[in-house]
Amino acid sequence: MATIAVQDELLQNRDFDVATKATIESIIANLIGALPKPEKLTSAERRGIIARYSAVLEGNFIYWMTATLLAVHSDGAKPIILDNLHEEVRDAHPHMMRKFAIAAHAVPTDRDALAVHEELTNMRLFLGRLSGVQSLAAMAFFEGFIQRFMPFLAQLAAAEGSTEMEYTDVHGVCDIAHTEGLFQALAIENSVSPLNDGKDVLEGVYLLRAVIERIVSGRPEAA
């Protein structure tokens, strides 16, 4: 009986992993599919997207990944997150982001920061609850989205006259492995410290989706 119970649990976990990954991938595909055509945007709209993206990413990515590290309980998930953080710090990704924004004449202003303030705050408060499985799901979604978003971001910057593409080149490649790693970490964490019944594994994904939608659309009253 004990063996059957363990096998049942493994199968249930496997279903959870596969279903969560598939749902996250479809949310990413929908977001990418809904992006505007860069050539149909005005210069101010292109600058705004880069500036809001930069306002979110430059100062928050490492903080959010660190919050996720603090939230996980499984020893197997931690080295995967630490590898990710190591690369971010060693290769100075916030500097890469800043260079990208400067070259596209899209350094965030107070107005850009305020446009994403509400959604960003919701995400910060969510990560502060230190829920390992939910935080990992959100960060796997984020890495997966960023990787697919890079060609669009590079097109915006090029249309603004920039040739500084280190940020988009690096993240269009390295985030493929990062995304896979985080899905693996999510599966490990879920097997060791699963989410309590009644909690939605995608709660952080939805909050982050709202951040991304705000980055792309801006806030009408802040325009």
Residues of this chain that bind Fe ion (CB under 5 A): 93
Q: How far is the C-alpha of 64 from the C-alpha of 206, rounded, in Å?
A: 15
CB distance 154 to 165 below 8 Å: yes
C-alpha 63/C-alpha 2 separation (Å) is 41
Please report how close the Cβ of residue 2 comes to Fe ion at its closest, in angstroms.
44
CB of 71: closest distance to Fe ion in angstroms?
A: 19
Distance of closest approach, residue 103 Cβ to Fe ion, in angstroms = 17
Cα gap 145→29, rounded to integer Å = 8
Nearest approach in angstroms of CB 166 to Fe ion is 11
Q: Which is nearer to Fe ion, 93 or 214 (CB)?
A: 93
Minimum Å gap between C-beta 84 and Fe ion is 8
| CB burial string 37-76: b at 16+ within 10 A, e below | ebeebeeebbbbbbbbbbbbbbebbbebbebbbebbebee
- Closer by beta carbon to Fe ion, 86 or else 199: 86
Q: Which CB, 63 or 118, lies closer to Fe ion?
A: 63
The residues, any chain, with a CB within 8 Å of residue 47's CB and separated by 6 or more, are 104, 105, 106, 160
> Cβ of 212: how many Cβ atoms within 10 Å?
23
Q: What is the largest CA-CA distance in the chain?
A: 66
Comparing CB distances to Fe ion, the nearer of 20 and 60 is 60
Q: Which is nearer to Fe ion, 47 or 93 (CB)?
A: 93
Closest residue to Fe ion in the complex (CB): 93
Q: In this structure, what are the phi and psi dihedrals at residue 198, rounded to the nearest 5 degrees?
A: 90, -10
Taking the complex as a whole, how short is the minimal distance between the CB of residue 142 and Fe ion, in angstroms? 10
Give 119 or 143: the residue with its C-beta nearer to Fe ion. Answer: 143
